[in-house]
Chain A
Amino acid sequence: MAWYIVRRFLQMIPVFFGATFLVYFLVFSLPGDPIQALFGDRAVNPAVADQLRAQYNLDQPFLVQYFLYLKNLVTVNLGNDFSGRPVAEVLAQVFPVTIRLAILALLFEAVFGIIFGVIAGLRKGRFFDGTILVASLIVIAIPIFVLGFVMQYVVGVKLGWAKPTVGAEAGWSDLILPAIVLGLVSLAYVIRLTRTSIIENLNADYVRTATAKGLSRPRVVVVHILRNSMIPVITFLGADLGALMGGAIVTEGIFNVPGVGQRLYQSVLRGEGPTIVSIVSVLILVYILANLLVDVLYAWLDPRIRYA
């Protein structure tokens, strides 16, 4: 098991460097001179511009910049954004909001996804199953921003059950509605995955054995079927955490959540290299670590994987 973890961990390292390099390369070739952008329409004093360029390493060749950046990343010295605020401070401000949002969304899709999926799987072919299947397909087919608008309008404005826009505070209760919108599409996937998994296990030999030796139906369902059906679902949920954090741009835009996605979008429009690269690097790190965790969990749940 330890070897398995080490091997998976070593495989993650080139992915992290590759992905950060890719982002750094893309951001580095973004159009426009950020120093000029900093001064707006006014003419820049060349001496000041040169000094600023040196401060942000913009005068160095690209590869040197990348390695300087990596060095700073390791020492958690992320530099300042173009308005002079330390990037680390910006990160500390936006990440907790998005983490809260992603955790709420994950909880929402896990709880409802598993409950609905189990019921649908156990009653395959009945009315509830059919309704759930059609509903989940429709949810997948609707773009998330349409869902967001409609929910914002109906739940936030018409019914007044939640704040239609979140604003600077972004506490747990304010984030419930955005989290539901963010988690809806994944909810549909969790339902379908759980359902398929349950149906597959219903016909397994060990379930027949358990029933044949006289176990009660609830015990067979909860202890035997459910436990084995959860393996692919947990894998999906783990991988989804990273995807939720990186994919929250649209939801955060609609509900005015001051999180990672909104900040990143603004930074890209401003051409604010250090902030973009820092945020994306952390997102990539979260994604990679979540995947590592899932792999380890998977190997622990299903011993066939780690010996393969």
Chain B
Amino acid sequence: MPEHRRDYIEHYVAPIEETPLQATDKVSEDVQPLSLWAEAWRNLRRQPLFVIASVLILLIVVVALFPALFTQTEPNANCQLANSDGGPAPGHPLGFTIQGCDVYARLIYGTRASLTVGIFATLGTLLIGGTLGAIAGFHGGWLDSVIARIGDVFFALPLILGAIIIMQLPFFRENRNVWTVVITLVVFGWPQVARITRGAVISVRNADFVTAARSLGVSRPAALVRHVIPNALAPVIVVATVNLGIFIVAEATLSFLGIGLPPDVMSWGNDISAAQVSLRSNPSTLLWPAAALSVTVLSFIMLGDALRDALDPKARKR
């Protein structure tokens, strides 16, 4: 149902005692109404959930970019088997892994791989799924059906199952790194983004402002890029944010199965996987990387939730 955008905007209504009765509902015409995004931002700043999630994500990004700021210990240089599965020691607050490496340093340096996979898998699914979904929704007809069926084909294969098969292909087997894991996740992750984008594009495709633009002579592709997509972006961004967290979990799961990142790449998934054997003797080697992973994923899910509330005025009023 195409709804006019202005309906969403809550105009300022002056208290009755401040204005003459006739002017109560009058809105000053020369004040520009806030855009959806400006209004969402105004709402977001006041939400504790959003603030907490943003601060956490900012911290995680800084850790990923500059790990050396957070620890002086080289994660792999001073591993000594004498320290194997050791508890916390001065300078090593979280103890040691079974190989005698510093858990805290590996935690800090593992951030980058996990976050890179999450971010680039999300960007990839947005690029492919977003483009195909927008075209399917805007064009409609046979193209819509074809894209929907192709998406269904990839949807019918569960992510982990498809990933296992792809990661065994010769090219992927020989080049096991962050990028091949990203490609695998994108191959099976794009249909979901495509579906959401398609739905969002269909809901604004027939809006009055698109018809107006078309009747002013704007070409179809230009109308899609300039008018439809910016207004259909909100639900897609929400899903992408939540997906970022889910891709980080997927990377860890693939690494756990031994078909994700190679063991020499430091990542939370690999650390959790390597800590399996120590679960009974030194559970903290498993629990710390798992906690880091969960906090990261939680931050992105919370950010997505906050964005959804801010961008969906219907949910906000309730």
A residues with a Cβ closer than 8 A to B are 11, 14-16, 18-19, 22-23, 26-27, 29-31, 137-138, 140-146, 149, 153, 157, 199, 203, 242-243, 246-247, 249-250, 253, 264-265, 268-269, 271, 276, 280, 283-284, 287-288
Please state if A143 and B161 are interface contacts (CB–CB under 8 Å): no
A12 CA to B297 CA, complexed, in Å = 34
A15 to chain B, nearest CB (A): 4
Q: Is B256 in contact with A145, judged by CB distance below 8 angstroms?
A: yes
Q: Which residues of B contact A247 (CB under 8 A)?
A: 158-161
A-B contacts, 28 listed (Cβ < 8 Å)? A14-B149, A18-B152, A19-B152, A19-B157, A30-B168, A30-B169, A31-B173, A140-B297, A141-B301, A142-B293, A142-B294, A143-B252, A143-B272, A146-B294, A149-B276, A242-B158, A246-B157, A247-B161, A249-B160, A250-B256, A264-B164, A268-B168, A280-B161, A280-B165, A284-B156, A284-B157, A287-B158, A288-B156
A18 and B149 contacting across the interface, CB-CB below 8 Å: yes
CB-CB under 8 A from B252, the residues of chain A are 143, 145
Min C-beta distance of A130 to chain B, whole Å: 12
User: A250: which of B157, B170, B257, B294 is its contact (CB, 8 Å)?
Assistant: B257
Query: What is the total number of residues of chain B having a CB less than 8 Å from a CB of chain A?
Result: 40
Is B130's CB within 8 Å of the partner chain A?
Answer: no
A18 to B160 alpha-carbon distance, docked (Å): 19
Pairwise interchain contact B280-A149, C-beta atoms closer than 8 A: no
Whether the pair A31, B256 counts as a contact (CB closer than 8 A) is no
Known: A19-B154, A22-B153. 12 other contacts (CB 8 A): A15-B156, A26-B169, A29-B169, A138-B294, A140-B297, A141-B297, A143-B256, A247-B161, A249-B161, A268-B168, A280-B161, A284-B157
Max chain A Cβ within 10 angstroms of own Cβ: one of B156, B164, B295, B301: B156
A138 & B298 in contact (Cβ 8 Å cutoff): yes
Contacts of A138 in B (CB 8 A): 294, 298
Task: Flag if A249 contacts B166 (CB, 8 Å).
Answer: no
**Closest Cβ–Cβ distance, residue B129 to chain A (whole Å):** 17
User: In the complex, A142→B252 CA distance in Å?
Assistant: 10
Check if B257 sits within 8 Å of A253, measured CB to CB. Answer: yes
- B272, A31: Cβ atoms under 8 Å? no
**Chain B, range 209-253, C-beta contacts under 8 Å to A:** 245, 249, 252-253
Name, among A18, A157, A242, the residue most crowded by chain B CB atoms within 10 Å (CB to CB): A18
Complex CA gap A157/B281 in Å reads: 13
Give CA–CA (A265, B298) in the complex, Å: 29
